[in-house]
Every structure is written in C-alpha cells, then in structure tokens.
Amino acid sequence: AQSVTQPDIHITVSEGASLELRCNYSYGATPYLFWYVQSPGQGLQLLLKYFSGDTLVQGIKGFEAEFKRSQSSFNLRKPSVHWSDAAEYFCAVGAATFGYSSASKIIFGSGTRLSIRP
C-alpha cells in the first residue's frame, strides 16, 4: 500500500538559514509526489509536484525538492527561510485506484510544523 512518512514532527530554524524537510514514500511504481503548505486555519497550497522528468523540481516561494528513487525520498529544501514560511508542510503521494473515471487519490504524510526563530 502507498504511504508517506515525514519523520520530523516539528522543526525550528533561524530566519535566513537553510531548510530541509524530509519525506519518504512507499509506492510500487513511479510515484506522483507533492509538497503542500498549510497556514493556520487555512486550506492547502501546492508548493511543487513531481510527475516525471528532471528529479529536481522547482516550486513557488523559492522551494525546491529532489526526487531520489534509490532512497524513496522527496525532500523539500529552501536556501534561506523567511518568517512567513512558518506553517505546516505536508508531503503527499498520488495513489492510483481503478474504477469509474479512474479517479486517483492523494495520500498525505503526517506533516512537519516549521517554526522560524527571529
């Protein structure tokens, strides 16, 4: 079964420092991978996604992620964080199901809460 693991529940980094959020997935085929960000009390915003091709994916707000098949990882990085980056970050994998309209669902990791130290 497909699954996503985010081993870090909470991370605190200083403003201006670099950031890496870890994500490991379990999937039998080439995965569809996503990173979403959620601000308190808000919905989810897509930061970036990987479907195929270049394994280094650029996203919005200066984020990037690298797909490493050998490590089953899709870690999110940012070279210099800003106070506005404080939020909850979710890694997710697309899980194929078969049926009417071939609908496919997304399975989310447990999330990593990012705090920024002034």
Partner 1 sequence: GAVVSQHPSRVICKSGTSVKIECRSLDFQATTMFWYRQFPKKSLMLMATSNEGSKATYEQGVEKDKFLINHASLTLSTLTVTSAHPEDSSFYICSARPVPPGQGRQGGRTYEQYFGPGTRLTVT
Residue 110 interacts with partner 1 (CB under 8 A)?
Answer: yes
Q: Pick out residues in 70-99 that bind partner 1 (CB under 8 A).
A: 90, 94, 96, 99
Biggest CA–CA distance in the chain, Å, is 50
CB of 81 to partner 1, least distance (A): 21
| Count of beta carbons in the 10 Å neighbourhood of residue 66 | 16
Q: What value does the CA radius of gyration of the chain take, rounded to a whole number of Å? A: 14
Residue 12 or 104: the one with the smaller Cβ distance to partner 1 is 104
CB of 31 to partner 1, least distance (A): 10
Give the DSSP letter string of 9-31.
Answer: SEEEEETTS-EEE--EEE-SSSP
CB of 20 to partner 1, least distance (A): 20
Of these, 36, 67, 74, 89, which contacts partner 1 (CB under 8 A)?
36
Question: 68 forms bridges with which residues in the sheet?
Answer: 73
